[in-house]
Structure 1
């Protein structure tokens, strides 16, 4: 079977996502999550700006909010996205990340590759995600530590799918004034509440596609004004059009309980 005919896999949790897929060449983009990328069968190319030369690599780390672009030449790639508190958002961008040479990770990568040939298994994917994170990141980055009030707010946003999550209602939920809450939220996450809610709605749209909805319906269910708004958001944050979602089998855990 040719690489281009393989179905990708997307595993989605609150705060993290694992993607196994034939490489999708991206436009220059950035997003809230830290990103780990690995070429499962061959190297890929990456760069951090449109006027920068390409770097050929097998493994890379892109810091939160760090612009980047990937050219895969069709090869199979694995990406791990992890949301981090602002105090842990150090500039860890590395286009020649050493985790790709680690013996433990190489065994893990073989399991990731094999996962493309079987039905999606969210529990198995969680174990792989945790093992990859442990191989690739310092211990200081492996355990997110938000202020408890922000943790409660993030859980509320995740469980609500981004709906009814304005500053006033969230502030009331965590017993703060709206101004104090929005300041604390930006301080802790590194982004405004409105920007985070846009990120959350995008993830809700992905979950809606996983439930069998077309992208237009998913966009409306996630609270976007229209498909064009959702498409612009998705492309800006992920570097590819949302139509790529239909090429993947998606497994997700949307609420943060259990």
Structure 2
């Protein structure tokens, strides 16, 4: 059975069923698109249609079936969605008559490339699918190089996050630690430590997709143990790793 999670630089795409997340918040802008005539419950209120949630906004979501797309705020796509939000924390989208997800069983979704299924949604949002989501308007080439190094994880060439302490990164960039921390926050809109934690979550998901068990994924992503990974995962996504394995149909043997 193929996974229903796709990771690309700058984004995490999920197709899930029976999603029920506890209150949580994360670094990414979240796009919710329920399947067919499904509704969802956000913060206790029932709604339908596509919805945008800004980064770092706490929310609780339950949905029968549908898409969740998490996008880094300073990527090309993130900037486009921020324009749609226009300063609002949550925004119900008017999608020019196309407010419902395509009608496809989960098994069909799992066999498809997600962009082909999400194309009508992105077109309604005036997102250019030919543009790279990696495009980030950083003025400092050193930060661009650093993010590109982190993005190498998506090609299966992860650098264990323990080698990414601020002092070590600053030295690589020929900066003092304090200057690096200031520059990174200025360029990325988030401090280095929580951003690195966010990226480590991606490393853990990639490890799980590659067939590692939870303990192995925790080690590969630089967490002390599987319990530490699961606690952090729940804070970021509102569910434990084991809940995610079931929901997103990832394969992983027990730890």
Partner of residue 156, structure 2: none
Aligned pairs for 1:1-258 within 5 A: 9-41=4-36, 42-47=38-43, 54-72=45-63, 75-85=64-74, 88=79, 91-99=87-95, 102-103=97-98, 106=100, 109-110=101-102, 113=104, 116-117=107-108, 119-121=110-112, 124-128=113-117, 132-136=121-125, 144-147=136-139, 148-159=141-152, 160=159, 162-247=161-246, 248-249=248-249
- Residue aligned with 1:212, SS: coil
Change (3 A) 1:102 1:250: farther
Residues paired across the two proteins, number: 230
1:66 is paired with a residue of what secondary structure? coil
- Structure 1's 115 and 188: CA in aligned 2 closer, same or farther, altered over 3 A? farther
Whole-Å Cα distance in 2 between the matches of residues 65 and 57 of structure 1? 22
Offset from partner CA, 1:115-172 (integer Å, 9 cap, x none): 6425545xx3245556644433678xx7532233222111212322534122223223
Partner residue, 1:255: none
Q: TM-score, normalised by structure 2?
A: 0.77
Which residues of structure 2 form unaligned runs of 5+?
153-158
Distance 1:172 1:96, change over 3 A: same
TM-score (norm: length of structure 1): 0.77
Instruction: Tell me the SS of whatever aligns to 2:231.
Output: helix
What SS does the aligned partner of 2:216 have? helix
5+ residue gaps in structure 1?
A: 1-5, 48-52, 252-258
Q: Pick closer, same or farther for the CA change 1:162–1:132 going to 2, 3 Å.
A: farther
Pairwise CA RMSD of aligned residues? 3.0
CA contact 2:181–2:191 (8 Å) conserved in 1: yes
Asked if 2 retains the 8 angstrom alpha-carbon contact of 1:22 and 1:76, the reply is: yes
Closer/same/farther in 2, CA of residues 230 and 34 from structure 1, 3 Å limit: same
8 Å CA contact 2:52–2:90 kept in 1: the answer is: yes
User: In the superposition, relative to structure 1, how do residues 57 and 77 fare at CA in structure 2: closer, same or farther (>3 Å)?
Assistant: same
Does structure 2 conserve the Cα–Cα contact (< 8 Å) formed by 1:120 and 1:250?
no
Greater Cα offset, 78-87 or 197-206: 78-87
Kept after mapping to 2: 8 A contact 1:9/1:120: no
